[in-house]
Amino acid sequence: MRYACPIAVVLILATLSAPAGADDPSVVAPPGPDETLIYVMRKGRMVGALGGGHLIAINDETVGYLSNDTHTIFRYPAGMITLNIATGKAKKPPLLEHTASGGMPIASIALDDRGGETVYLEWKVNTWEFIELDEKAARKLIRKTDRSKPIDEFFPNIMQMGVLMNLSRLGFDLMEPAAGPLEPDAEHGVVTIFRQKDGDKFDFGIWHDNGFVGTLGAREAVSLRLSPGSYFFMASHFGFTHMMAEVEAGKRYYAWVDHGGLLGRLRLTPVPNTDARNLEKLLRKVSYVQLGRGVDAERVRDREKLVTEFIRETKSQAREGGVGFDLLAAEHAFP
């Protein structure tokens, strides 16, 4: 299944390689009121496998390619725009459908509802975010870079869900401090997910099959009160981790999400109820966060619908044995 946003065709303002300076904004037609003109510039050089280049994707389509010291330009219908850069080659990969193994998005940004605007984005090699430049700085960088050759044809962005699951990387401010963990009651259990210090440069997106749970930084925790039943949790930074939770009323459950190094995958690990002493030590080091008012923004909710649909489909695959997961169940219930 494709998880596409309703989009029109991307118009790329480059069909052949052009010399440095040829794409100065003063000679490129400005965007119309319902368009966003996007420059993406890659500054810096890499050698070896990564020196070959990086893919640029907008929403569900891979639309461009950047190599050392190059730039590219897109004219795109204004609306919900998620742009990401990722490792890859400028040709259609053999795997076109989305899989639970995910990919490796490096930097991403939301450029929503910017009709009539020209946006200048710089990505420096060995960094994890885009920098939006003003026109003066952008013109200087454009003159120092060459226009990238276009890819032969667009193909699906198989990393789209990995990008959308980590909403904080898109620039949304969604979390706020919480007083502490929630408490279970006669009709609800509480699941708390927490992090330690590992991977402290990155935030991790936490979800379940009813929607967005939150974004966790290093040594942060989020708890949610749930009615009895089965829930499918996923977390993402690079790739995905899966956990099925069987929740009972009046019980507390804990899982910690750890990061296996710079390029490692995440894992949601349930804490057994026999490990109460170690759990208490770990929780002393965390601060609690909760969803803030920013989560109710229209474009956040639009993305939440896409991801929730993906998670529900992944849950169905897990139940059929097609996707592995950790199980949080009775042996993980604390009174």
Segments making up each domain of the chain, as ranges: 11-164, 170-332
Please give the average per-residue pLDDT across 42-68, as a whole number: 80
What integer pLDDT is reported at residue 100 of this predicted model? 30
pLDDT, position 43: 83
- Give per-residue pLDDT as tens, 59-114: 999 999 998 899 999 999 999 999 999 887 766 655 444 333 334 778 999 999 99
Determine how β-strand 146-147 pairs with β-strand 70-77: parallel
Mean pLDDT for 251-259 is: 93
Mean pLDDT of the chain: 86
Q: Which SS3 state, helix, strand or coil, does residue 52 take?
A: helix
The predicted pLDDT at position 152 comes to 83
Phi, psi (5° rounding) for residue 242? -130, 145
pLDDT at 64: 93
Neighbours of 268 (CB within 10 A): 22
Q: How many Cα neighbours within 13 Å face the side chain of 260? A: 12
- pLDDT given at position 46: 65
Residues facing residue 124 across a β-bridge? 43
DSSP string, 231-272: EEEEEEESEEEEEEEEE-TT-EEEEEEEE-STTPPEEEEEPP
> If you count DSSP H runs as helices and E runs as strands, how many of each does the chain have, helices first?
4, 22
pLDDT at res. 106? 87
pLDDT of residue 261: 56
